[in-house]
């Protein structure tokens, strides 16, 4: 049995725009529906969704059945959480609130086995190795790991060059909502100064030869971000899509 290729990482490194959906409901059925819908990736949100490690597992399993690559956003940029997520078989991780190179390096090392990192050697017990079925997992896994760190503060904007330069950081993802709040413009991700900071983050990430990412629920901006060089592009969320569809249905029924 061979360690599976991280097809999302391969596509991103080839410069292909990959559109994805946020999963925040904690539902494996929703994950399965989303996985079959045609997105390039689906992200299980452990930061703002009701998703513990135990609750992530059935969603990871559901997405594997659909063939859609899985991304997990961990609740905090902490090494012990990375270890548990990777042992589920997840190959791509989004780490929130990474403000400097030291935290980025901590996350990069947490993603990889020694000598390149600090990931604990428990592969034979983990789903990631198919419970020991992938005999060379500890030596082949590192190459398939993909780490995206989230820049969402004024400090991260200042430190983006150092963050993007960290070996093992594959990309920098912009969090517009938290960035706007930290810059003093809560709820205004389209404020000119915030937009300027976003453009700076994207440009410096690309200059470092790394993957640039962002999320927007504004359909009119998808092409714009792609033109700016964003390839990891979040385009919606399961809870919001469902809520809007149900609201619209209820309104149509009452208006009929």
Residue 60 CB: number of other CB atoms within 10 A? 19
As annotated, the active-site residues are 48
- Whether the link from the prior residue into 115 is cis, omega within 30° of 0, is yes
The angle at the Cα of 236, spanning 197 to 87, to the nearest 5 degrees, equals: 90
Q: What is the DSSP string of 151-217?
A: E-SHHHHHTHHHHHTSTT--EEEE-HHHHHHHTT-TT-TTSHHHHHHHHHHHHHHHHTT-EEEEE--
Residues ≥6 apart with Cβ < 8 Å to 207: 164
3-state secondary structure of 1: coil
Whole-angstrom distance, CA of residue 180 vs CA of residue 69: 29
């Amino acid at each position: 049995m061979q360690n599976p290729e991280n097809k999302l990482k391969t596509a991103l490194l080839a410069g292909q725009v990959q559109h994805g959906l946020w999963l925040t409901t904690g539902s494996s059925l929703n994950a399965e529906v989303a996985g079959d819908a045609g997105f390039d990736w689906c992200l299980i949100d452990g930061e703002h969704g009701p998703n513990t490690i135990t609750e992530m597992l059935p969603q990871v399993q559901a997405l594997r059945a659909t063939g859609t690559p899985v991304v997990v956003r961990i609740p905090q940029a902490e090494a012990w959480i990375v270890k548990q997520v990777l042992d589920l078989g997840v190959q791509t991780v989004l780490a929130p609130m990474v403000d400097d190179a030291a935290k980025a390096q901590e996350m990069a090392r947490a993603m990889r086995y020694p000598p390149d990192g600090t990931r604990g050697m428990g592969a034979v017990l983990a789903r990631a190795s198919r419970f020991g079925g992938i005999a060379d997992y500890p030596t082949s896994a590192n190459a398939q790991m993909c780490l995206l760190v989230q820049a969402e503060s004024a400090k991260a904007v200042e430190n983006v060059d150092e963050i993007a330069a960290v070996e093992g950081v594959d990309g920098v993802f912009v969090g517009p909502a938290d960035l706007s709040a930290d810059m003093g413009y809560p709820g205004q991700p389209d404020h000119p100064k915030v937009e300027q900071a976003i453009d700076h983050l994207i440009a410096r990430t690309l200059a470092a030869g790394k993957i640039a990412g962002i999320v927007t629920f504004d359909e009119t901006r998808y092409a714009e971000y792609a033109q700016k060089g964003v390839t990891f592009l979040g385009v919606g969320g399961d809870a919001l899509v469902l809520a809007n569809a149900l609201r619209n249905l209820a309104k149509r029924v009452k208006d009929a």
